[in-house]
Amino acid sequence: MPLLSILHKRPKPHKGLEQRIRSLTGLRIRQTELYELAFIHPLVHGQKTLSFHSTNQRLEFLGDSVLDLVVAEFLFRKFPFKQEGFLTEMRSKVVNGEFLDQLGRKLGLDEILCETSLRLYEGQGDARTPQHLLKQLKSKGSVADAFEAFVGALYLDRGLNDTRKWLENRILEPQIDWEEMAKSGSNPKSRLLEWAQKHRAKYRMECQEIESGKGPTKSILYKITLWVNGKEVAHAESPNKRKAEQAAAALFFEQRDQNDIV
């Protein structure tokens, strides 16, 4: 069933959402339903088989690709004399989950995510706020995912040109100190490679694909297990394989002192 047909069958979005999105983008909003969908966490509908139609997961997938393209093009023009390795590293610093979480909170997307998801939460007759959902809504991963889903919604609603202009004029130019970013540390996966070379350590990442649902409703979750010197040191899961790898590497550095790895 087409996405727009599904959205049109949903209750109308909250009245204040359109105004908030207009203030955020400076653009006329055509399909408010898309933006509401961008802020519906997967846990809102529990474990329903068709819940992916009513959450932000598909928009997150689309927004991730749009963001990659726009950031790559922006860097290509901004740094005309830099080589591929530099451009790749800079793009990784922008599109990684931690940085997108920071951007999302600056824009107030975390507040919209909480308000929208809690308003639409389908509880089991329990009027109390679900603590497990609150915890997930406040996590870095959820806010970063909402940022990407928002980009996906903007792309579907306004097209690539308006999405590019918004990202460049509202995010990439005013929100990022490129000189400082160029000096900052590399992304977790690159740091892991550098650390392994420096300490003559061997590491590998195992990827397990976990399927849920059947037919057109099937979705895949990537589970990454990181091994260093033959010891399992971290694992992470995400619908995006690259994000799972970065998360596993980041977790390794957070727990490095406890892992007792030379």
Mean pLDDT of 181-197: 77
Which of 215 and 132 is assigned the larger pLDDT?
A: 132
**Tell me, what's the pLDDT at 126?**
53
161-170, 223-232, 234-243: segment of lowest average pLDDT? 234-243
Sheet strands (E) in the chain: 203-212, 219-228, 231-238
- Residue type at 29 in one-letter notation: I
Considering its fold, how many domains does the chain have in total?
Answer: 2
**Tell me, what's the pLDDT at 50?**
46
Do 129 and 204 sit in the same domain of this protein?
Answer: no
Burial per residue of 53-86, b for 16 or more beta-carbon CB atoms within 10 angstroms, e otherwise: bbbbbbbbebbbebbeebbbebbeeeeeeeeeee
**Tell me, what's the pLDDT at 215?**
62
Do 27 and 124 sit in the same domain of this protein?
Answer: yes
The span from the CA of 223 to the CA of 248, in Å, is 9
Which of 15 and 21 is assigned the larger pLDDT?
A: 21
Do 134 and 177 sit in the same domain of this protein?
Answer: yes
Query: Chain-wide mean pLDDT for the chain?
Result: 83
- Is the pLDDT score of 177 beyond 70? yes
CATH number at residue 139: 1.10.1520.10
**Tell me, what's the pLDDT at 157?**
96
Do 236 and 217 sit in the same domain of this protein?
Answer: yes
- Report strand pairing: 219-228 vs 203-212: antiparallel
Do 130 and 245 sit in the same domain of this protein?
Answer: no
Do 222 and 161 sit in the same domain of this protein?
Answer: no
Do 242 and 152 sit in the same domain of this protein?
Answer: no
Instruction: Quick: pLDDT tens for 55-108.
Output: 898 999 999 999 999 999 999 999 999 888 788 888 888 988 888 999 999 999
**Tell me, what's the pLDDT at 240?**
84
**Tell me, what's the pLDDT at 49?**
43
Do 208 and 242 sit in the same domain of this protein?
Answer: yes
Burial per residue of 12-21, b for 16 or more beta-carbon CB atoms within 10 angstroms, e otherwise: ebbeebbebb
Give the global pTM. Answer: 0.68
Mean pLDDT of 163-178: 94
Do 194 and 142 sit in the same domain of this protein?
Answer: no
Do 24 and 154 sit in the same domain of this protein?
Answer: yes
Do 95 and 207 sit in the same domain of this protein?
Answer: no
Give which of 54, 68, 42, 100 is closest to 239, Cα–Cα.
42
CATH number at residue 218: 3.30.160.20
- Of the residues 184, 214, 237, which one is the last residue of a structural domain? 184
Instruction: Report helix, strand or coil for 88.
Output: helix
The span from the CA of 165 to the CA of 121, in Å, is 34
- Of the residues 165, 184, 203, which one is the last residue of a structural domain? 184
Catalytic residue numbers?
Answer: 64, 148
Do 56 and 158 sit in the same domain of this protein?
Answer: yes
**Cβ contacts of 9 within 8 Å, gap of 6 or more:** none
Domain membership of residue 248 as a residue range: 189-259
- Of the residues 184, 207, 224, which one is the last residue of a structural domain? 184
